[in-house]
Structure 1
Amino acid sequence: MNQTWTEIRQRYTEAPEFIWTSDMLAIIDYISASGLSAGLYARTSMYDLHIAQAPVTHPIAGPYLCISPLRNGQIDFRYIDTMIKRDQWHRVAEKGEAAMRFRKFVQQLCWSTSPGQMA
C-alpha cells in the first residue's frame, strides 16, 4: 500500500532514535525538496523504504529501490529489478552520505518527475 511522503517522514520521525535515523530522514527530505515526490511512490516495511516509479502494490510487482538501514549506521541501497541477488544494483552508504547516494542513484537511472528534468 502506498504511503504519502508526509506519512513516511512521520514514521521515521516517530521511530526510536537509531544511529541511521537522520540519514533516512535526509533521503525523504531530499525527495520532497527536489520535487521527486510527485513522481515516486513508496511504502515502508519495518524500517526499510521501498521506492518505485509506479504506485506500489503488495507484493511489489515491478522494479523498486529498497533502502535499508544497517545496525552500524550505514544505509544499504538495493535496486530490485531481478530476483537474482548477484545481478541487482547494490551500494552501501556510510553514515551521513545516504542522501548523496540516493541522488547518484536517481541520476544513474534517470528518475525524474517530468521529461527533461534531472534530480
Structure 2
Amino acid sequence: MDPPPAGGAISCPHDPATDKWKKMDGWMDGITESNSNQCKETNTFILAGTNEVKKVCRDAGAPYQNQRDMRVSLQPFHVVNCDLRSNNRYPRCEYRGRSSTRYIVISCEQDYPVHFQGFAN
C-alpha cells in the first residue's frame, strides 16, 4: 500500500466518506493513556515495515546527539501524527492526522528499536 501524500490531512481513525488513507481503520482504537480511559493526546505511526525501522538501529541510522542508545534515520520515513480533537473519553476519541516525510529518532537496545523519540530537526 502506498503511503499518504506528505502534508495531507487525514482522519484518525476512520471516516467512511473519505479515501483509503483518510480511513485509518482502527489505528487509534483502544490507544489510551496508561491505566485509564483518557484518550491519548497524540500518537505517531511510522509507515514502514518492522525490518526497515530495525535497520535504523544498525547501518541505516547514525548516533543522535551523542546519546549512546539513540539513532536518527539516514533516510526519511513516511509518518502519520494523530492528534486528539476532542476531550471525550474512550471509546469516543476523535483524532485528526497529518502525514509527512521525516527523519525519525528512535531508542535502540541490542540493535532493536524500543521507543520512538521523535523527529530530527
TM-score bucket (shorter structure): under 0.3
Instruction: Specify which structure has the higher proportion of helix.
Output: 1
Q: Which has the larger radius of gyration?
A: 2
Query: TM-score by structure 1 length?
Result: 0.24
Query: TM-score by structure 2 length?
Result: 0.23
Instruction: Specify which structure has the higher proportion of strand.
Output: 2
